[in-house]
Structure 1
Amino acid sequence: MKRDFLYLDISGKIAGLIRKGTLQPGDKLPSVRMLCQEYGIGMNTAKRVFLELEAQSLIVSKPQSGYFVNQLPYQRLQLPEVSKPSAGTHNKEPEGLIQKVFSTMGRNDLTLLSMGVPSSELLPLARLNKEIVQATRNLRSAGTAYEPFQGNENLRRMIAARSHHWGGQLTADDLVTTAGGMNALSFCMMALSQPGDTIAMESPCYPGSLQLARSLGLKVLELPTHPVTGVEIEALKKVIHKIDLCLLVPNFNTPLGSCMPTENKKAIVKLLAKHNIPLIEDDIYGDLYFEGQRPPCCKTFDTTGNVLWCSAVSKTLAPGYRVGWVAPGKYKEEIMKLKLVHAISSTTITQEAVANFLRSGKYESHLRKLRSNLQSNCDHYTSAIADYFPEDTRVSRPQGGLALWVQFNKAVNTTELFDIAMKHKISIAPGRMFTLQHQFEHCMRISIGLYWSDEVQQQLKRLGRLVHMLS
């Protein structure tokens, strides 16, 4: 690691000990001088370590005594409640709300807490620019020709090679490239369903998936979902005979950020395979784990080809490149037919550029930095919520991903809050966006993908004041 970023490496290690409970609230940390000796660093670097931990509210300084572990921000706030959607299927999209929120996308005059993507400051833009130039030099016809029908072979080979990180054993031939993650989900839904079929999803769920299902004439059955462990398996068992397909985001889904335990993934794969119900797995956040190892996917445990594993680089590397893919298992032929009809070919230059970026090893280096920044952001944002929002606010505790799910008392209507916040140049994602039922009106999702700054902190403080006015 470069010396310039050594303080981040050291502060990250200490932060990990605090989050895991190895260092408890009230424990005294080594002095600046002792930290210098332990890590072989200078005084300035050691001071930056403590400043970084203080900025994340993980430690506090006591005059004449030193630094001590602080109570973690989320320890002051309860978790959001387990969702309890009604048992029937619904089709009540919040009229105009989703379009109104997404119309703020790309506006530089707003603090976009509503957009679940990493900001450009967290992306390797210069390196990607070089890969684009190199791709035009390497590709036949400078990248103006069609790609092979199944997608860029280099990209498929790199994705297959990376599947070992989550226990997959994919080959390049198992994959079909798409124009981003939503395009992959779209192909899967179209291949597996017909109007009137019922699809099971988490509740709350990504609005794009709900809109897609609705546009295809599907009935959506929303499942009770825990903010830490994801979909409640017993609830899925109760409705298994009512559904025709299932779409889940097992790893760090939006907006809850929950991560399904490994045993739950195994059980769901087995349950759905037994009833021959296809599982579309959206794994777009899987690489954004904060600590430890990359969690396995449902596809890891798929022995029958019943899981269609979808992902993209939209949340990790280049949202605008629209590079995604699907490993469709036994449904590959159906997916290929749909791609021929709806796309013919994927984007040539961006696929080649991403493939080369993955092959160079730069992607893993970038992911390490991105995950560190997002974990730090999660701490900053949670601390701000604990400091500035009402005391009865509840907030999720994601171990990865890009979102925090915030729950207020029922006096706060976040659709109304959106309109008020926009007058202060703040965009949020009201909870009603994430369901087709009348629920979550007192909840919101905020993205932790913005680069943390004094301005973002002040906007969160301002947002907290607005919530106080409504509560």
Structure 2
Amino acid sequence: MAKDILYLKIAKAVAKQIQSGTLQFGDRLPSLRSAQKLYNVSLNTVKQAYMELESLSLVESKPKFGYFVSQTSQRKLALPSISTINISEKEKMDEDLLKKVFDTISKPDITQFALGIPGDNFLPLAKMKKSIINVAKNKKDSGTAYEPVQGNEHLRREIAKWTLVLEGKITEDDLVITSGAMNAIYNCLMAVTKPGDSVAVESPVYFGILQAIQLLGLKAVEIPTHPVYGVDLDALKKVLPTISACCFVTDFNNPLGFQMPDENKKELVRLITEFNVPLIEDDIYGNVYFGSERPKPCKYYDEAGLVMWVNSVTKVLAPGYRIGWVAPGKFKDKIIRQKLIQTVCSPSFYSDVIADFLEHGRYDHHLKSFRQKLYGNYLQIQRAINTYFPDNTKMSEPKGGFMLWLELDKKICTEELYNEALSRKINFAPGRMFSQHNQFQNCMRLNYALEWTDRVESDIETLGKMIKNRM
């Protein structure tokens, strides 16, 4: 007991130094050995103290370099609220609003905070062109021949090589190539549900998933979701007997940005296995982490074949190629049959280009550069929101990905704000898009995977002024 109290005392002392400004963002904490001597305690006690600080997001560990005061420790704004679902306030999603947001996709004069598409400066365009040339030279049929329904063998093999986080649990034979991640999710929903069934989703939830559920004649059941830990597993357990599938983004969720802790992922897999409910795991942001290593998806803990692991390169490599994939577990044959009926096969040329890049384009180097730029942008937008937005703004704390969720004063309606912002060439995603219920009207989602320029800074300032003028 005394040992437990001791490590907490050390953690509390360091926390006070951070809160007082004695230790600031980026400062390195004493090494474990130095701290052991400083506090005259065991090495294990120091480790426990530092782990406690890390769990509070006050420090972050960098392998081989030590522990550093985190950017999160300096945050001024509170975290967003956990949603309370009022099913009596269900309303059909505003299709006009969705169309209005997506119609800006090809307008270069608009600052694109709304859509989850990385800017050109994030993408390896020159290396992608090299892969295109390589494929064009070597492809004797000029990409006109059919490929296997399951997907390009070369691409599936290269993807399997890159799923190191699953430690060899996925082979090329486990994968089915799809037309992007949303196509994979749609096919997964179709494979494990029938019209009228219920599907559990996060709240707020990515609007594309809501649309897929509605299009298939299914019912979305929104589960309260914590902005740091993810889906409330106790709330999920209560409805699991009535659910036909779950569809969650467990790592760097869109829009909240959380990374579900490993223990929660293990418990989630245990629950779906107990109730025999498939989990469609959308892991498209999994490689875009800010920490020291890529988090393991729920698929890693799946022994029953119930987790349908979805991924793609649309967020990090080639948005317009629409190359995605799914490891559907026990539902693989059904997914392949559906694909045969829908599309027969995927376009072979784009598959070959991505396979060539994965094999020769130094994908690891690209991802490292992508994450560094993205984290730099996250720090910039966090600083800008702190500077220009009202003090009662609540801001999410993404551990990766490129979405920021803001909860504004209850007086603010972001649908009304959207029209004024768009007239000033600023685009964002109003919070109402992220629920089937009449909620999140005072919230917005911002994409920060864009080149950070003076104009971007100025547009954040303009948004802040517009909000203040409405209070």
TM-score bracket for the superposition, by shorter chain length:
0.7 to 0.9
Shift of 1:70: 11
Match of 2:116 in 1: 116
- The answer to whether structure 1 residue 179 and structure 2 residue 179 are counterparts is yes
For 1:454, give the aligned amino acid: D
The 3 A distance-change label for structure 1 pair 71 and 363 is closer
Q: Distance in 1 between matches of 2:192 and 2:405?
A: 31
The 3 A distance-change label for structure 1 pair 89 and 179 is farther
Query: Conserved in 2, the CA contact under 8 Å of 1:299 and 1:307?
Result: yes
Match of 2:401 in 1: 401
The 3 A distance-change label for structure 1 pair 76 and 100 is same
Q: Secondary structure at the match of 1:142?
A: coil
Match of 1:104 in 2: 104
Match of 1:422 in 2: 422
Query: Conserved in 2, the CA contact under 8 Å of 1:415 and 1:441?
Result: yes
Q: Distance in 1 between matches of 2:281 and 2:71?
A: 36
Match of 1:256 in 2: 256
Q: Secondary structure at the match of 1:280?
A: strand
Task: Write out aligned runs for 1:75-224 (5 A).
Answer: 75-86=75-86, 90=90, 92-167=92-167, 169-224=169-224
The 3 A distance-change label for structure 1 pair 387 and 305 is same
Percent identity of equivalent pairs:
44
Match of 1:48 in 2: none
Match of 2:5 in 1: none
Bigger Cα displacement from structure 2, 316-325 vs 99-108: 99-108
Query: Conserved in 2, the CA contact under 8 Å of 1:74 and 1:386?
Result: no
Query: Conserved in 2, the CA contact under 8 Å of 1:230 and 1:258?
Result: yes
- The answer to whether structure 1 residue 336 and structure 2 residue 315 are counterparts is no
Q: Distance in 1 between matches of 2:257 and 2:265?
A: 16
Match of 1:244 in 2: 244
Query: Conserved in 2, the CA contact under 8 Å of 1:248 and 1:279?
Result: yes
Match of 2:349 in 1: 349
The 3 A distance-change label for structure 1 pair 454 and 189 is same
Match of 1:276 in 2: 276
Aligned length: 415
Query: Conserved in 1, the CA contact under 8 Å of 2:197 and 2:219?
Result: yes
Match of 2:439 in 1: 439
Shift of 1:133: 1.6
The 3 A distance-change label for structure 1 pair 29 and 232 is closer
- Cα RMSD over matched residues? 2.2
Match of 2:465 in 1: 465
The one-character-per-residue Cα deviations of 1:163-212 (angstroms, maximum 9, x if unpaired) are 22244511100000011111111111111111100000001111111001
Q: Secondary structure at the match of 2:296?
A: coil
Query: Conserved in 1, the CA contact under 8 Å of 2:201 and 2:221?
Result: yes
Q: Distance in 2 between matches of 1:21 and 1:344?
A: 58
Query: Conserved in 2, the CA contact under 8 Å of 1:395 and 1:407?
Result: yes
Query: Conserved in 2, the CA contact under 8 Å of 1:388 and 1:464?
Result: yes
- The answer to whether structure 1 residue 267 and structure 2 residue 264 are counterparts is no
For 2:156, give the aligned amino acid: R
Q: Secondary structure at the match of 2:308?
A: strand
Q: Distance in 2 between matches of 1:131 and 1:71?
A: 38
For 1:278, give the aligned amino acid: P
The one-character-per-residue Cα deviations of 1:115-156 (angstroms, maximum 9, x if unpaired) are 112101111001101111211222240212112221111111
Match of 1:391 in 2: 391
The 3 A distance-change label for structure 1 pair 178 and 469 is same
Match of 1:37 in 2: none
Task: Write out aligned runs for 1:279-290 (5 A).
Answer: 279-290=279-290
- The answer to whether structure 1 residue 454 and structure 2 residue 454 are counterparts is yes
Q: Distance in 2 between matches of 1:244 and 1:293?
A: 33
The 3 A distance-change label for structure 1 pair 73 and 164 is closer
Bigger Cα displacement from structure 2, 152-161 vs 365-374: 152-161
Q: Distance in 1 between matches of 2:126 and 2:135?
A: 14
Query: Conserved in 1, the CA contact under 8 Å of 2:90 and 2:438?
Result: no
- The answer to whether structure 1 residue 297 and structure 2 residue 297 are counterparts is yes
For 1:189, give the aligned amino acid: L
Bigger Cα displacement from structure 2, 91-100 vs 277-286: 91-100
Match of 2:229 in 1: 229
Query: Conserved in 2, the CA contact under 8 Å of 1:73 and 1:386?
Result: no
Q: Secondary structure at the match of 2:75?
A: helix
Q: Secondary structure at the match of 2:418?
A: helix
Shift of 1:432: 0.2
Q: Secondary structure at the match of 2:371?
A: helix
Q: Distance in 1 between matches of 2:423 and 2:465?
A: 14
Q: Distance in 2 between matches of 1:208 and 1:82?
A: 21
Q: Secondary structure at the match of 1:326?
A: strand
For 2:187, give the aligned amino acid: F
Q: Secondary structure at the match of 1:201?
A: strand
Runs (5+) with no aligned partner, structure 1: 1-19, 31-68
Q: Secondary structure at the match of 2:273?
A: helix
Query: Conserved in 2, the CA contact under 8 Å of 1:167 and 1:296?
Result: no
The 3 A distance-change label for structure 1 pair 304 and 128 is same
Shift of 1:94: 2.3
Shift of 1:86: 2.9
For 2:77, give the aligned amino acid: L
Shift of 1:241: 1.3
Shift of 1:316: 0.9
Shift of 1:95: 3.9
Q: Secondary structure at the match of 1:143?
A: coil
Query: Conserved in 1, the CA contact under 8 Å of 2:25 and 2:70?
Result: no
Q: Distance in 2 between matches of 1:312 and 1:421?
A: 31
For 1:465, give the aligned amino acid: K
Runs (5+) with no aligned partner, structure 2: 1-13, 27-68
The 3 A distance-change label for structure 1 pair 312 and 28 is closer
The 3 A distance-change label for structure 1 pair 70 and 309 is closer
Q: Distance in 1 between matches of 2:25 and 2:404?
A: 29
The 3 A distance-change label for structure 1 pair 103 and 383 is same
Q: Distance in 2 between matches of 1:333 and 1:22?
A: 57
Q: Distance in 1 between matches of 2:235 and 2:86?
A: 11
Q: Distance in 2 between matches of 1:108 and 1:22?
A: 47
The 3 A distance-change label for structure 1 pair 443 and 360 is same
Shift of 1:242: 1.7
Bigger Cα displacement from structure 2, 201-210 vs 100-109: 100-109
Query: Conserved in 2, the CA contact under 8 Å of 1:80 and 1:395?
Result: yes
The one-character-per-residue Cα deviations of 1:39-98 (angstroms, maximum 9, x if unpaired) are xxxxxxxxxxxxxxxxxxxxxxxxxxxxxx998686210000112223679562124111
Q: Secondary structure at the match of 1:411?
A: coil
